[in-house]
Amino acid sequence: MRKLIILFIFLLITGCWDYRELDEYTLVSGMAIDYIDAEYHVSLLMYKQIDKDMEIEIINESGKSIKQIIQTLETKNTKKITLSHLSLVIVSEELATEGIADIIDFFLHSDSQNFYLLVGKDELLPFTKQIVDKIASSEKQYKANFKDFIRRFYTQGLEPVTNGVRLHHGHIEITDLAFFKDARLISWQGSE
């Protein structure tokens, strides 16, 4: 009988202890990051549920760190921002050349690591939903997701690589491969 009571208690206290409805969240699908004048400048492509519809919104914010920017946006927003649906992160070429160690660290400690990481050439910021859709559907790219990038980053003898992306005459174009060493962009190699 005692075992039955203990089993019943465990069934009562388990479950979705941190369960939240979808309408309590703002989902981030895309993020573009630049570093200008000692501050990160971030564009977020976000989906908010309004009544029964999903509304797309692009927010631009700046701050000393990506974490600070997310926290600032959460104080301005009534909903919690989640990166669990993040599908694309674009870092500027200038930031990639300076180094993306802080960005790598942020995403290693976030709830999202299954997104594509690309280097934006030629003033890609701010970006739109069309850029995210085009890149996600493109077949002619290397498509290094963040997990692959990190695996190569921490493996002796392998260097991380990903694609570049730019706007060319109003069209999104997947460009050369970007090679990294010690979290810094070191060279480009033509993909053709």
The better pLDDT of the pair 154, 16 is held by 154
In eight-state DSSP terms, residue 126 is: S
pLDDT-derived band at 131, boundaries 50, 70, 90 = low
**Mean residue pLDDT across the chain:** 80
Residue 169 Rama label (left phi>0; alpha psi -120 to 50; beta)? left
The better pLDDT of the pair 175, 140 is held by 175
pLDDT in tens, 5-60: 775 666 556 556 555 565 677 888 888 899 889 999 998 888 877 777 777 888 88
Q: What is the largest CA-CA distance in the chain?
A: 75
- 110 contacts: CB under 8 Å, gap ≥ 6: 83
- The yes-or-no verdict on residue 178 having pLDDT over 60 is yes
The pLDDT assigned to 98 comes to: 94
- Cα separation, 99 vs 120, in Å, equals 14
- 141 contacts: CB under 8 Å, gap ≥ 6: 135, 163, 174, 191
The mean-pLDDT minimum among 110-124, 130-144, 153-167 falls in 130-144
Helix (H) or strand (E) holding 134: helix 129-137
**Rounded to the nearest 10 degrees, how much is the dihedral formed by the CA atoms of 147, 150, 156, 162?**
90
pTM of the complete model: 0.80
- The yes-or-no verdict on residue 129 having pLDDT over 70 is no
